Amino acid sequence: MSIHPDIKIGHVHLKVADIDRALSFYNDLLGFELIQKIGNQAAFISAGGYHHHIGLNTWESEGGTAPPPGHTGLYHTAILYPNRKELAVALKTLLNADYPLQGAADHGVSEAIYLADPDGNGVELYYDKPKDKWPRKQNGELEMFTKSLDLDDLLSEISE
């Protein structure tokens, strides 16, 4: 059995310690819009007016801390940008805010910037390269890799 190819992952819910702190990151820094806030217990945020792409809640985590390294849990939430220029705009916003990056990679099929939200949840900001540019082996098999992403080259998308 295989899953239908049109299946999409609709939203993610994150346990956070402080709703307002999380909203400051996701809304003010990344640009999501607040759809609904339920006191200091939950908030639902979106890009483009969808009911929510990310749910933030303190139901089991108010005032809590991130799990220590070596434990299971969410590795990262991946946020797909529509094109390279929009990813560059996001990078510039992060750099202007002096927000720490954890890494940046060219995976052949995509380019990605890695960081953590204020609660230690991993966040990947990325865009997919056009499918006809994806690297393939001679037999046609996809050949993904991890190489360093040239951030200056990415930023040149918006300095032109």
Question: pTM for this one?
Answer: 0.93
The Cβ-side half-sphere exposure at 12, using a 13 Å CA radius, reads: 12
Question: For residues 26 and 28, what is the distance between their CA atoms, to the nearest angstrom?
Answer: 6
In the chain, the amino acid numbered 94 is L
> Is the separation of the CB atoms in 58 and 70 below 8 Å?
no
Q: Choose among 84, 66, 83: nearest CA to 123.
A: 66
Q: What is the pLDDT of residues 3-42, one digit of tens each?
A: 888 888 889 999 999 999 999 999 999 999 999 999 999 9
CATH of 75-160, one of 3.10.180.10, 1.20.58.1000, 1.20.120.1200, 3.60.15.10: 3.10.180.10
> What is the enclosing helix (H) or strand (E) of 32?
none
> Is the separation of the CB atoms in 42 and 54 below 8 Å?
no
Q: What is the pLDDT of residues 36-82, one digit of tens each?
A: 999 999 999 999 989 999 999 999 999 999 888 898 888 899 999 99
Question: For residues 45 and 16, what is the distance between their CA atoms, to the nearest angstrom?
Answer: 14
Q: Which two tokens stand for residue 85?
A: 């220029």
- Quick check: do 10-62 and 75-160 share a fold? yes
Spans of all domains in the chain = 10-62, 75-160
Strand-pair partners of 112: 105, 126
Strand-pair partners of 105: 112, 148
Question: Using alpha carbons only, what angle is made at residue 105 by residues 103 and 110, rounded to the nearest 5 degrees?
Answer: 135
What kind of architecture, by CATH, is found in domain 10-62?
Answer: Roll (3.10)
